[in-house]
Amino acid sequence: MLLAIDIGNTNITLGICEGRVWLRQWRLLTAHEKTADEYGIILKALLHDADLDTAVTHIIFASVVPALTATFARACRQYLGHTALEAGLHLDTGIRVVTDVPAAVGADRLVNAVAAYHLHPGPSIVVDMGTATKFDVISAAGELVGGVIAPGLQLTADALASRAAQLGQVALEAPPHTIGRNTVQAMQSGLVYGYVSLCEGIVGRLLAEHPDQGQPIRVLGTGGLIQLIANHTSIIDVADPWLTLTGLRVIHERVKGRQGEI
């Protein structure tokens, strides 16, 4: 069985799959200060709770948190007994990154592109709502050609609450109407519907510049907050909070398949 781990700045998502079926998936808060021992204990506890203590045979991870990359590699090796495969440009992922500086593209963006192209061969756009909201353009030829990076929804909500003296934290949920009848509703409207408009506007511009105009271009959404936005717009064709884990699975199958291990 494969354990896939996506290490983001705000959340760490994990999943364990047998073949192509996900048996369990988890989402944790990222704690940059935790040690390999602490994360190793967490991994073992999650697997034990799922009755999968000894089921893991392979591990793959992607990380955009340099401080945790070595931490997780060590945790997997010492506590689960496996050397984890790190996703990145050094692997044959089946996707070509043709941006000006490919090495500057985060592993999460690469893995999302792999998942999108594998699940829906052809041109696509991926909207990933994490710490940052990322929009990536994938061509029909399997190329990650570039994209857009904007502040994330939670990051924006935190900044608004911390920098405005008379505004506080609000639940990230859609208010009953766009016109807020109180301060909380007004903030929720600006955050939720503001990001709906952001997604619709940016995706519209990307569709107009997509290298494969004239072909059907699928828009996929992922990230912990994607469903909140997808519920209020038709611009997202498929919302999959676990898309990155699927990309990791695909990369593992491709790499290990070439090595004759699966």
- Residue 242 neighbours by CB under 8 Å, 6+ apart: 13, 15, 22, 25, 222
176 backbone dihedrals φ, ψ, rounded to 5°: -65, -25
Among 108, 128, 136, 240, which one carries the catalytic annotation? 108
Distance of CA 85 to the CA centre of its chain: 18
Helices (H), the chain: 36-49, 66-75, 107-119, 153-163, 183-188, 194-209, 226-230, 243-258
Token match 């592109």: residue?
113
Please give the backbone phi and psi of residue 192, each rounded to the nearest 5 degrees, phi first: -70, -55
In angstroms, the Cα distances linking 114 to 27, 37, 41, 246 are: 21, 31, 30, 9
Q: 95 phi and psi, to 5 degrees?
A: -120, 135
Instruction: Tell me the β-bridge partners of 220.
Output: 126, 238
Residue 216 φ/ψ region, left for φ over 0, alpha for ψ in the -120 to 50 degree band, beta for the rest: beta
Rounded to whole angstroms, how far apart are CA atoms 12 and 30?
A: 6
- Active site (annotated) includes residue 108: yes
- Cα 199 versus chain centre, distance: 16
- Indicate which residues carry an active-site annotation: 108
